[in-house]
Structure 1
Amino acid sequence: MFKRLFGALKVKEIRKKLLFTLGFFIVFRILTHIPLPNVDTRAIKELFQSSQLLGLLDIFAGGGMQNFSIATLGIGPYINASIVLQLMTKVLPKLEELSKEGQSGWEKINGYTRYLTVPLAFLQAIGMYALFQRQGVLTKLSLPGILLLALSMTAGTVLVMWLGELISEYGVGNGISLIIFCGIVAQMPISFGQTFATTVSTNF
């Protein structure tokens, strides 16, 4: 097994794909640490630590929600758009025809998914602002401020979606799945640390 792995690493094309994937991961992690303005990040982290549901959502966001970064929404809106389009293929005859056309049809559906991701991300950003503002971790903003915040979060989602597509094209594996994997791996040290601290405080 390891011989095959090391043998594969000797292939220049595979090494190139792995380096591309690693580079895209680094860019993604940088995005998750660029905070949005008017945010109490400490209060948000405490809120996420007290809620398992928010912690699960943070995994799909790649760890960007706790920092309330421009990548806060992650690829969540894209996944939602993909689910909506797949369901609509059973309802709309045009989409059903496209789904039966093979690769070319699904490429068109993927294009529709990207377009649908943008308004879904914007609406989700507005909803997230309302939720966090009610929790007291975001300051009350004027309408232009809310729109700027929502547009920034939407732009972050588009960037993450684009990175996922670049990974799929130039890297190794499915980009969207790897971004989710990257988020899970990034949260593992924090989860282990919290579990260890809880165990120590309970037993001692």
Structure 2
Amino acid sequence: MFRTLRDAFKIPDLRKKLIYTLMMFFAIRIGAHIRVPLVNPEAVSSFAGDGGMLDMFNAFSGGAFQNMALFAMGIGPYITSSIIMNLLTVAIPKLEEMQKEGEEGRKKIAKITRYGTVVLAILQSTAISISLRGLFYEYNVFSVVIGITAMTAGTAFLMWIGEQITTNGIGNGISLIIFINIISRLPFGVQSLYNSATTGNKLIPVIVLIIIFAAMVAFVVLVQLGERRVPVQYAKRMQGRKVYGGQSTHIPLKVNMAGVIPVIFASSLLGFPGTITQFFGEPTGAWATIINLLRIQSWSGAFIYFVLILFFAYFYTSITFNPIEVANNMKKNGGFIPGIRPGKPTVDYLTNVLNKIVLIGALALALIALLPTLLGVAFNMNISFGGTSLIIVVGVAIETIKQIESQMVMRHYKGFLNS
């Protein structure tokens, strides 16, 4: 990875893109420390740290939420808007047709996604400003409007930065925003880990946990790069005097087809009741019992979390990959899987393979997501760097390095052809 970055800096065009991306990172981190006007930053610190959705907001915003900075909501509204648009594209034929129109259709969907981001940012910032009444030095209409305007503008600016990185920099801008925010919290996570150690020599459990996390990183890389290649053979066909087809290829089915989406959905759903409760004070009675059962640190909460990850892995994969559509496209182009007849047998074969792969990927996701929490309970230490963050960081790093390598290969071929 470091060799790839070093070689990329030797190419003027790539060096310019990398420097531009680093400058955008600097702007992101600056915005994470510019506080929203009229806000008391100490008031919100009590709402973070309980493992709920607010804790996730704080991690994904690089600590901006705990500082109540302009980028307090991070890029979360954009991600939510994108997920909603992906789901609606499958459910609404008009949007599906728009997506198939090519570049023009994608631009229209991107425009709708941006408007959706602003609407969600307004709703989310309104909920934060009204629910967390102690957030402001003086709680009144003016301070609430200022808070809503500032946080919405911050999210819109982050969305713009993400699009600029994608266009003028290296990698997917939105993913890199989350990446740099999570990475920026690592020193605080290590410090929190050290301070929460209860043994005599605090350094030993910290070193043990760092070694375990290094092994987890290797496992995440293995899961992210793992794929099942389904062989496909295309029959030869004559068109005029030319022969087409006859080549062999494959359908790459990734082990982790759903990415980090199942973990985000599961943790958000599991932490939602506790997060809402935080806005209204300490829970009492039966509701307090339910909240405790849903905490991921408990065995019941961990089991529910595990089941939700499995469910969302299958659900999201069924939306993004359609075996019937793949089988029909293969049949139209004269392709077939060796030993499998075209049509329904191909659909059944792909569905069977997909179900097995999704199960393996979902189990791996659940293990990675739950292991930091289980280790924290076992060592009686506060591990703020969760499995979700680990999957995102490793996944984004792999995809960015792949993109850099592909651009280096393109320039290598270009030079070869010109020579």
TM-score w.r.t. structure 1 length?
0.90
Where structure 2 has 5 or more consecutive residues not aligned to the other structure, the ranges are: 201-419
Give, in whole Å, the separation in 2 of the partners of 1:3 and 1:195: 31
Q: Which amino acid aligns with 2:68?
A: F
Letter in 2 for 1:189: P
* C-alpha contact 1:89 1:95 (8 A) present in aligned 2: yes
Structure 1 residues 90 and 5, CA gap change in structure 2 (3 angstroms): closer
Correspondence for 1:33: 33
Is 1:153 matched up with 2:121? no
- Distance, in Å, in 1 between the alignment partners of 2:79 and 2:135 is 26
CA contact (8 A) 2:33 2:64 kept: yes
Query: In the alignment, which residue of structure 1 is the partner of 2:233?
Result: none
2:129 matched residue in structure 1: 129
Alpha-carbon distance between aligned partners in 2 of 1:122 and 1:141, rounded to the nearest angstrom: 18
Higher RCO (C-alpha 8 Å, min separation 6) = 1
Partner of 2:97: 97
Give the length in aligned residue pairs.
200
Aligned to 2:69, what secondary structure does the other structure show?
coil
Q: Is the 8 A contact 2:44 2:135 kept in 1?
A: yes
Measured in 2, the distance between the counterparts of 1:179 and 1:5 equals 19
**After the TM superposition, which of the residue ranges 178-187 and 77-86 deviates more from structure 2?**
77-86
Secondary structure class of the residue paired with 1:203: coil
* Bigger shift: residues 22-31 or 32-41: 32-41
Shift of residue 2 of structure 1?
A: 5.5
Deviations 1:87-128 (A, max 9, x none): 111232221111122333122101110011111101100111
1:203 equivalent in structure 2: 199
Aligned residue identity for 1:127: A
Question: What is the one-letter code of the residue matched to 1:169?
Answer: T
Distance in 1 between residues matched to 2:35 and 2:93, nearest whole Å:
43
Q: 1:3 to 1:113 in 2, by over 3 A?
A: closer
Aligned match of 2:348: none
Aligned to 1:56: 56
**Which residue in 1 is equivalent to 2:405?**
none
Partner of 2:68: 68
**SS at 1:71 equivalent:** coil
Letter in 1 for 2:199: N
* Aligned-pair identity (%): 40
Question: Which of 161, 181, 184 is the aligned partner of 1:183?
Answer: 181
Cα distance between partner residues in 2 of 1:43 and 1:203? 32
Q: CA deviation at 1:41?
A: 1.6
Query: Higher mean Cα deviation, 54-63 or 105-114?
Result: 54-63
Give 1:3 shift. 5.0
Q: Distance in 2 between matches of 1:25 and 1:4?
A: 20
**CA distance, structure 1, for counterparts of residue 55 and residue 121 of structure 2:** 19
Question: Matched residues in 2 for 1:168 and 1:137: separation?
Answer: 35
Distance 1:179 1:127 in 2: 24
TM-score (normalised: structure 2): 0.45
Matches within 5 A, 1:5-24: 5-24=5-24
Q: CA deviation at 1:139?
A: 4.3
Q: Residues of 2 paired with 1:2 and 1:189: CA distance?
A: 21
Shift of 1:175: 0.2
Q: What SS class does the counterpart of residue 17 from structure 1 fall into?
A: helix
Q: 1:61 deviation in Å? A: 2.2
**d(CA) in 2 for partners of 1:49, 1:23:** 30
What secondary structure is seen at the aligned counterpart in 2 of 1:90?
helix
Aligned to 2:45: 45
**Separation in 2 of the partners of 1:61 and 1:2?**
26
Equivalent-residue separation in structure 1 for 2:129 and 2:91 (angstroms)? 33
Who is 1:85 aligned against? 85
Q: CA deviation at 1:56?
A: 1.5
1:79: Cα distance to partner?
Answer: 0.8
**How far off is 1:131 after superposition?**
3.0
Q: In structure 1, how many angstroms separate the alpha carbons of the residues matched to 2:47 and 2:2?
A: 43
Paired AA for residue 170 in structure 1: N
Equivalents in 2 of 1:120, 1:53: separation in Å?
A: 16
Question: In 2, Cα distance between the equivalents of 1:151 and 1:166?
Answer: 22
Change (3 A) 1:90 1:50: closer
SS in structure 1 of the partner of residue 125 of structure 2: helix
> Is the alpha carbon distance of 1:172 and 1:131 closer, same or farther for their aligned partners in structure 2, counting shifts above 3 Å?
same
Amino acid at match of 1:22: L
| Conserved? CA contact 1:62–1:179, under 8 Å | no
Which moved further from structure 2: 98-107 or 188-197?
Answer: 98-107
Q: Which amino acid aligns with 2:15?
A: R
Q: Report which stretch shifted further, 96-105 or 36-45.
A: 36-45
Q: What is the Cα-based RMSD across aligned positions, in Å?
A: 1.8
1:52 CA drift (Å):
4.7
Distance 2:52 2:187 in 1: 17
> In structure 2, what is the Cα distance between the partners aligned to 1:5 and 1:40?
41
